[in-house]
Structures are given as C-alpha cells and as structure tokens.
Amino acid sequence: MSDLNHCESLYWVFTQLCNDKCDHCYNLSGPQGERMSEADCMAIIDNLPERIDRIILSGGEPIAEKKILYAILDRLKERYGGSGTQIMLQTNGDLLTGEILDTLIEKGVTRFDIASIDRYHKHSGARLLELAELFESRGVNGDDKDPLIEKETYLVQEHPLSWGYWGATDDMWLGGNWARGRAMEKDIWKRDPAHNFCKVLSGGVGFLTGAEGIPQEISIQLWRINPCCPGTYKAMGDARKEKVAEVLARVAQSPVFQKINEGDPLGMGESVGVSREIAEARNAELQNVCLWCDEFFRDYFDMETLQSKFQQA
C-alpha cells in the first residue's frame, strides 16, 4: 500500500455553480448548482493529505465562484507552495478574461484545461480562437492539448505554464456519459454493461495505489470523498470533518475497496457473499456498472461500518 498521506492526483469539484447547464453534466451543475462556504473550502484544504503531486480544481465553473477560487488558491499556496504540487484548473473558458488569467497565474495555476469543446456545451468551442490568443499573450504554452495524465508531466518541481482543450466524446477516456446527474435526467447516459467505467482514468482503479498508466487519484465532489469521479452511492467520508488520508486508510482495509482499487466492481461483493454471478446479472439488467455499484452500496454494504448490511442485521 502506498503512503496515503501522499496523493498523486486529487480532483476537487469545489462548486457546482456554473454559467452553463449542459444536458450531460454528471453533477447537476448550473446557475442553481450547489455551493460551499469559503470556511468549508478552507476546512477541506486543512484536511487534505500532506503531500499532493497535482490538484485539479474543477466544478461547476470555478471562475463563476471567483472569490472562493482565489481564496482556495491562496490557501493551497500556503500549504503546498514550494513542494512541487501542480495546480490545474478545469474550466469551460466562458468567463476567462485577461485580468482573471493574470490573477490565476499569479496565484499559482500552471495548467489550464478548457473542458467544454463538445456538442453539449452552449458555446461548444466558439471562444477557442479568442482563448488561444489570450493564453499566447501570457506565454501559456498550448502544445499539449490533451489532459495531462503522464506522471512525467507533473512530477517536476517547476511547472511551465500550459493549456489544452477537450470535451466529452464517446471515445475519450470516460467512454460515454456517466449514469449520473443530468445525464440520467435527460436519459443520455451510456448503456453498455460491457464498458467498465471503473477501470479507466476517472474510475476507481488505482485510487489507493495507482495502476498501469493511471495515477493514484481520488475525487472530492464538494466535500464528498470518492474513489472515482462518478462517485459512489454514498461518499467514503466528509472532507470538511475528516482527514482524507485517514478515510483512505480506513477503506483500504476493506476487501470491497481493494476490488474497486483493482477496477473490478463486479467482484467487490465477493468478500461479503455477493457473488460475481449476481453482480454480472444485475449489471446486464442495469446496463451500467456504476448503477450496479450504487445498488451494491445501497442494498448490500454499509459505507459507515464497512460491513455487509446482512451481517449487521
């Protein structure tokens, strides 16, 4: 087991406020999206692992919560400045101006990902040329378009300024819309029991140890500590109140979470008497492995006690 007080990659949705309201949005972000207070955000930063190689700040639209975003960046600089942590910002780019870009750079963001270049977003890339000029004017390099997943690109002390752009397409790593949030409401989630969302980047695979070609990454959805970006039915812990490393150390003892770490959600019930055959049959009916995972944590396994619901009865 790796040192759980050292996180290779942390993905944090600190707001679900957004100027857009895309049909495929997995976390129901929008103008009425859920928000957190600045105090809660600061408490979360205090509870993060001691060492983090990269932190990806996302939303919602982070720039729609500019005041809190700036406060988060200041606090991250206090905690991790000088330790080589790369600060990345995922934004739809709609609200970015020269003045905001200057402030973000000054506050320590070194990587910008414009994650809105697809058919679901209102502007679907209409600002791309304008953004390219804006980044170029500030010396932000645009040669690496794809999200940076290679460790060599962020395990360095000095991070050159860079930006890239991408969006939701069926063939990118997430393999179709997650069965979550507005994608569920709009019925545009990916129905394919053969696609294992858990075993690709953003899934649960490697959340404790890292996996082949995939960094050890966890996600925090507002305050909910998750092994993956889609998020489990209940969170593993509350980052406002608990040390993230302690939450990870607790779940790491459970064979259920060891299976998630292997990217094998169909096998996660075996240690508590839910066979792979049952999981496969339900996955075939539900048409999506994350929906099977929801059912497992709702009906069979208690997230708080980390025990089978049947053993407890």
> Which is closer to ligand SF4, CB of 73 or CB of 115?
115
State the CB neighbour count (10 A cutoff) for residue 275: 12
Query: How far apart (Å, rounded) are the C-alpha atoms in residues 61 and 41?
Result: 15
Residue 30 DSSP class: B
Give me the least distance between CB of 292 and ligand SF4, in Å please: 7
> Which is closer to ligand SF4, CB of 85 or CB of 215?
215
Q: State how far the alpha carbon of 178 is from the alpha carbons of 17, 84, 150, 189, 302, in Å.
A: 19, 32, 24, 6, 23
Binding piece for ligand SF4, criterion CB under 6 A, among 72-80, 132-140, 208-216, 287-295: 287-295
> Which is closer to ligand SF4, CB of 85 or CB of 92?
92
Q: Is 162 in the site for ligand SF4 (CB under 6 A)?
A: no
Residue entry with tokens 């053969």: 194
The β-bridge relationship of strands 109-114 and 6-13 is unpaired
Query: How far apart (Å, rounded) are the C-alpha atoms in residues 22 and 182?
Result: 8
Binding residue for ligand SF4, selected from 61, 113, 262, 264, defined by CB under 6 A: 61
Give me the least distance between CB of 282 and ligand SF4, in Å please: 12
Letters for 116-135 (x = contact with ligand SF4 by CB under 6 A, - = none) are: x----x--------------
Binding piece for ligand SF4, criterion CB under 6 A, among 49-57, 222-230, 247-255, 277-285: 222-230
Site for ligand SF4 in 6-45 (CB under 6 A): 18, 20-22, 25, 29-30
> Are residues 11 and 219 in contact, defined by beta-carbon separation less than 8 angstroms?
yes
The continuous run of DSSP H or E covering 287 comes out as: none
Q: Is 290 in the site for ligand SF4 (CB under 6 A)?
A: yes
Q: Is 257 in the site for ligand SF4 (CB under 6 A)?
A: no
Please report, in angstroms and rounded to a whole number, the separation of the first and last CA atoms in the chain.
Answer: 32
Smallest Cα–Cα separation from 30: which of 147, 121, 164, 124? 121
> Are residues 18 and 64 in contact, defined by beta-carbon separation less than 8 angstroms?
yes
Using CB under 6 A as the criterion, which residues of the chain lie in contact with ligand SF4 when the complex forms?
18, 20-22, 25, 29-30, 59-61, 92, 116, 121, 197-198, 203-204, 227-228, 230, 232, 260, 265, 289-290, 293
